[in-house]
Amino acid sequence: MSAKREIDEVEDAVESASAPKALKSESNGGKKKKAKDSDDENGVASDAEAEDEEDKSDTEKEDELPSVPVEIPEKEKGKVLTSEGTGVVLICGGTNWDAAGRKTAPKGGKNSGPNLWSPHRFLPFANIRVRLVASGPTAAHSIVITEEGKAYSFGRNEKGQLGHGDEVRRDIPLIIDAVKDEVIVGAACGRNHTLLVSVRGEVFSMGDNKNGQCGVKNSSQATVPTATPINYKGAPIVKVGCGAEFSIILDCKGAMHSFGLPEYGQLGHNTDGKYFVTSTKMGFHCEMAPKRIVFFIERTKDGKIKPVDVDEIRDFSCGTNHTCAIDSRKRLFSWGFGGLGRLGHAEQRDEMVPRLIKFFDSQNRGVRNVWCGSSYSLAVNDFGVMYMFGQNKRTGEANMYPKPIQDLTGWNVRCVGVANTSIVCAADDSVIAWGSSPTSGELGLGEMRKSSTTPLEVKALDGVYVEQISCGMTHTLFIARDKTDEEKQKIESLEGYMPA
């Protein structure tokens, strides 16, 4: 079935059936709100649309929140401002940021940095308590957020993704000056861009903007060298996510908005954005500003498409070119690039809009957490069973639909870091890792056992309670709890790493 025919089927189904329920809006009493369509190539509203916007009813105008600082709800604020979950930063894996994911470092690069085969104390943060670490499966840079909400960045910086106003690699983390007066509570890293979210629900972006993945007002800006507010006016944002060249944000009312490259349908707007620039060259209509994802579907066994009512999205995760999201009824949706079964639909079809994963749409199979890697996805259900779909090995068969990871049966998985092909998770009081060769030490298993295709406990972290894990392309960051003297002593016994 062609992509055009699939798109037509979705549109016909949405028009013929009752439209999916609009996501909750507290300020307009739950009334449905139309998504803003865009007709021009960059996904920015035309002049005619701008005039139509001025004619909106008073109710709709009241629903748009002003751009002045807005506090997020108390229930969300509590998640990010308590002292719980803070600790000491540990690092392992490759630290030659210029060479990460490449055969050789580019000419003129620094091309230095050791592979840390076991977890080390990250000495630049030796006396600083940290709340959050963030990287991504396609990222060779990282963000570290302190207990006070100050954001630091380090790693590769070829497109200004570190937000320091230049393109100079940083081995030692440096505070991001543009947001030093903000309380930053969330971050996400794409291949060459970064998103930050403040406690007020405001989003800042920096780095590569060739495909609009930074979502700033000046859409013609190819790179954004410093942290800049995105072109968004609406409910406060509570979570941000980055794929390789696209971004998704989630507001406090449960609505998702996406922007950037739509190549495989990963934006969820019912299009891959393709058009012919010339007879032999393909281009893409990129979304240069956040656009709301407005409908969700399911496919029946006979191939028919039905719209699905979704009240609120609770959580989501972005892979390289795909996304998974959990709604308030604990159903799991996926869309974007379908290769190797990473969408969990038992087929390799690309999905242009969020599609319900039927495997989890039954009693006692609700999903509580989801993580997306480069070519695979992980989900944990209400009973703590972890499922994988897609492929995290370079060879062999892929999981075309969700299958439980038998080696983790009985473990309570608390948090997961997903790299290119490696997976590191905190389960109960242990850290478990696995990934196929070659690796750069991101598994933390030690120099004698650099890779493993089956889950193994990271012995170096025995006795260390890990609060959070985030993996980059070839490195892993941990936040280790240090509340007791015993925990502090165990952390101090680890080797320290100070970048040159």
Whether 29 shows a pLDDT value over 60: the answer reads no
Task: Tell whether 472 is covered by a domain.
Answer: yes
What pLDDT score does 41 carry? 39
Residue owning tokens 């969020």: 354
Residue owning tokens 């859409």: 219
Whether 329 shows a pLDDT value over 90: the answer reads yes
What pLDDT score does 37 carry? 41
Mean pLDDT over 198-211 rounds to: 97
Is residue 213 within 8 Å of 246, Cβ to Cβ? yes
Whether 47 shows a pLDDT value over 50: the answer reads no
Task: Tell whether 93 is covered by a domain.
Answer: yes
Task: Tell whether 485 is covered by a domain.
Answer: yes
What is the extent of the structural domain holding 467? 75-98+113-128+419-499
List, in order, residues 6 or more apart from 373 with CB less than 8 Å away: 137, 319, 390, 392, 418, 419, 420, 421, 423
Read off the pLDDT band of 303 (50, 70, 90): confident
Whether 349 shows a pLDDT value over 70: the answer reads yes
Q: Specify the range with the lowest mean pLDDT, choosing from 17-21, 305-309, 451-455.
A: 17-21
Task: Tell whether 429 is covered by a domain.
Answer: yes
Read off the pLDDT band of 12 (50, 70, 90): low
Residue 214 backbone dihedrals phi, psi, to 5 degrees: -90, -20
What pLDDT score does 107 carry? 85
Mean pLDDT over 89-96 rounds to: 97
Task: Tell whether 84 is covered by a domain.
Answer: yes
Q: Specify the range with the lowest mean pLDDT, choosing from 79-83, 189-193, 332-336, 387-391.
A: 79-83
pLDDT, tens digit, 9 for 90 and up, residues 409-438: 999 999 999 999 999 999 999 999 999 999
Whether 42 shows a pLDDT value over 70: the answer reads no
Task: Tell whether 365 is covered by a domain.
Answer: no
* Sign, CA torsion 448/451/455/458: positive
Is residue 153 within 8 Å of 174, Cβ to Cβ? yes
Whether 234 shows a pLDDT value over 90: the answer reads yes
Task: Name which residue leads in pLDDT, 367 or 19.
Answer: 367
Task: Tell whether 196 is covered by a domain.
Answer: no
Please count the structural domains in the chain. Answer: 1
* Mean pLDDT score across all residues of the chain: 86
- Taking the C-alpha atoms of residue 133 and residue 273, their distance in angstroms, rounded to an integer, is 33
**CA angle, 134 as apex, 128 and 138 as ends, to 5°?**
145
Kindly provide the b/e burial profile for residues 219-258, where b requires at least 16 CB atoms within 10 angstroms of the residue's own CB: beeebbbbbbbbbbebbbbbbbbbbbbbbbbbbbbbbbbb
Kindly provide the b/e burial profile for residues 8-45, where b requires at least 16 CB atoms within 10 angstroms of the residue's own CB: ebbeebbeeeeebebbebeebeeeebeeeebeeeebbb
Q: Specify the range with the lowest mean pLDDT, choosing from 32-46, 98-112, 153-167, 307-321.
A: 32-46
- Taking the C-alpha atoms of residue 189 and residue 14, their distance in angstroms, rounded to an integer, is 34
Whether 53 shows a pLDDT value over 60: the answer reads no
What pLDDT score does 394 carry? 83
What pLDDT score does 22 carry? 37
Whether 48 shows a pLDDT value over 90: the answer reads no
Task: Tell whether 46 is covered by a domain.
Answer: no
Cis peptide before 73 (omega within 30 of 0): no
Q: What is the pTM of this model?
A: 0.84
Which tokens is 393 given?
Answer: 């090995």
List, in order, residues 6 or more apart from 58 with CB less than 8 Å away: none
Residue 6 backbone dihedrals phi, psi, to 5 degrees: -60, -45
List, in order, residues 6 or more apart from 395 with CB less than 8 Å away: 436
Beta bridge partner(s), residue 94: 115
Which tokens is 114 given?
Answer: 């050791």
Mean pLDDT over 32-59 rounds to: 41
